[in-house]
Amino acid sequence: MKKTLMLLTIMIFLLSIFNFSVLSANKAPEKGEALPIINLPVPKNPDERNYLGLSGSGSFKIPQIKTKVVIIEIYSMYCPYCQKDAPGVNELYRLIENNADIKNKIKLIGIGAGNSSYEVEIYKKTYQVPFPLFPDKDFVIHKACGEVRTPYFMVVKINEDGTHQIVHTQLGNYPGAEPFLELVLKASGLK
Amino acid sequence: MEKKKFARILLIIGTLSIFVSVSMAFAISDAYKGNIYQPGALKPVDSKLKVKVGDPAPNFTLPAISGEKISLVQYRGKKNVVLSFVPAAWTPVCSDQWPGYNIVKDIFNQYDAILLGITVDNIPTLFAWTNQMGQLWFPILSDFWPHGAAAKRFGVLRSDGVSERALFVIDKKGVIRYMDVHDINKRPPLEDLMGALEKLKK
């Protein structure tokens, strides 16, 4: 009985430490680092699956996206700056998609911090967001990313050997589609 | 004996730390820069409701940021009303609640509903705070003086003088049709409120 109680106690204690260290990273991911572990569901929409170069169902990790660079926006439908920047971020998607040289080299995704699937759909519909958005209802990804304020941009370079690193991060201050694309091209070495 | 005591302390710390780590989940928009005060994890609910679904909603008259005075009764026979009490300006979850409602005016219209945002803060504070949210389409009311009187009538005034994070849906007859006195540390999912509005149609 005593042993069981002791074991249970240690397990709960370890679990709580695990909770803090893994689920709530205490700092935002930085340039030069790898992404924290982020599992996203393979989109049900075939156009979105095709855009990301994914197939099947289940989950995927961001470096599995078939491209050289991924721009991740951590946003929320409840965030005024994300709302204000939404048309400009859509414009970034269009700039990339309309440029044959970079179309398949840069992909854009959004992760809705604390947003349910319903809330993600509201945001997508309100701002006609043309790129894939993913819910993070229970803040799991948001916590793994150091509970950054929103919008938070991360530019990730995926290497030939499957490794990856963050080449740029930015809290807010979205400068508009063209300057941001320029920044992404330079930071990732595509230019 | 000592081991047992140590084990107990560990058990308490471990259990508490789990609660702390799961009960404070929120995102903060960069719109507020570094101006959001962090109150830490709070007791989820700290008041006793004085109304229930099916009751007539108690009336109140409160000043709005716009300068007008708004009474609940003025919507009787005209609009369904959603009351969104939030605890306080310049705090984490509250700051990321109304901006979301601000982009779904069309859905509120679809249900012939008006939204009234209420806190116990005074008008100048509410003015400065909501200015960071962009142009809000719904009235923001101050339940500052007599302090928390409207919240008190519904039974959502907490013991420290702020209100609960509570939603009430009141139909055109002035009857309460839905209530959600939510965990103060968390934002209510939008789909729950919209589901309640959908039910008004039936």
User: Which of the pair, A3 or B149, is modelled with greater confidence?
Assistant: B149
**Contact between B11 and A76 using a beta-carbon 8 Å cutoff:** no
Give the domain extent around A125: 28-188
The phi and psi torsions of B179 (rounded to 5 degrees) equal: -140, 140
CA distance A100 to chain B (A): 34
Cα gap A17→A107, rounded to integer Å: 35
| Res. A11: pLDDT tops 90 | no
* pLDDT the model gives residue A147: 87
- Asked if the structure places residue A136 within a domain, the reply is yes
Give the integer Cα–Cα distance in Å for B41 and A166: 32
Residue-wise pLDDT for A20-49, tens only, equals 444 456 688 888 899 998 999 999 999 999
In a domain, A33, yes or no: yes
Task: Tell me whether residue A14 is in a domain.
Answer: no
Helix, strand, coil fractions of chain B, as percent rounded to 5: 35, 20, 45
Predicted confidence at residue B12, as pLDDT, reads 55
The reported pLDDT for the residue numbered A180 is 96
Shortest distance between the Cα of B97 and any Cα of chain A, in A, equals: 6
Whole-complex ipTM: 0.80
Whole-number pLDDT of residue A21:
40
> How far is C-alpha B130 from the chain's CA centre?
14
> Is A67 a domain residue?
yes
Q: Which residue shows structure tokens 């702020």?
A: B162
Q: Tens digit of pLDDT for each residue in B135-180?
A: 899 999 999 999 999 999 999 999 999 999 999 999 999 999 999 9
- Nearest residue on chain A to B13, alpha-carbon basis: A13
Question: What average pLDDT does this structure show over B48-76?
Answer: 97
What would the mean pLDDT of B3-32 be, rounded to a whole number?
A: 58
Is residue A167 situated within a structural domain?
Answer: yes
Instruction: Please give the pLDDT value at position A49.
Output: 95
pLDDT of residue B17: 47
Residue A178 has pLDDT above 60, yes or no: yes
For residues A115 and A79, is the Cβ–Cβ distance under 8 A? no
Q: Does B29 touch chain A (CB under 8 A)?
A: yes
Residues from chain B that touch A120, judged by Cβ atoms under 8 A, are none
Q: A109-123, A150-164, B22-36: which has the minimum mean pLDDT?
A: B22-36
Instruction: Give me the residue from B13, B97, B102 closest to A13, CB to CB.
Output: B13
Residues of B annotated catalytic, as ranges: 94
Contact B25 A10 (CB under 8 A): no
Tokens in use for B182? 């939510």
How many domains is chain A built from? 1
Q: Which domain holds residue B166?
A: 2-200
Q: How does residue A10 score in pLDDT terms, banded at 50, 70 and 90? A: low
The SS3 assignment for A111 reads strand
Residue A9 lies in a domain: no
Q: Say if A61 falls within a structural domain.
A: yes
Q: Which of A180-189, B28-37, B126-135 has the lowest mean pLDDT?
A: B28-37
Q: What's the confidence (pLDDT) of residue B146?
A: 97
Please give the tally of structural domains in chain B: 1
Q: What is the mean pLDDT of residues A70-99?
A: 96
- Identify whether A21 is part of a domain: no
Alpha carbon B152 to its chain's center: 14
**Residues A86, A102: Cα–Cα separation, whole Å:** 21
Contacts of A151 in chain B (CB under 8 A): 30
Identify whether the C-beta of residue B149 lies closer than 8 Å to the C-beta of residue B120.
no
pLDDT averaged over chain A?
88
What CATH number has the domain bearing residue A154? 3.40.30.10
> Domain of B137: which CATH number?
3.40.30.10
Stretch B66-75: mean pLDDT, rounded? 97
| Per-residue confidence band for A103, with pLDDT thresholds at 50, 70 and 90 | very high
The two tokens of residue A65 are 């996206």
pLDDT at residue number A7? 57
* pLDDT above 80: residue B122: yes
Q: What is the per-residue pLDDT for A16?
A: 47
Please give the average per-residue pLDDT across B187-192, as a whole number: 95
pLDDT of residue A32: 87
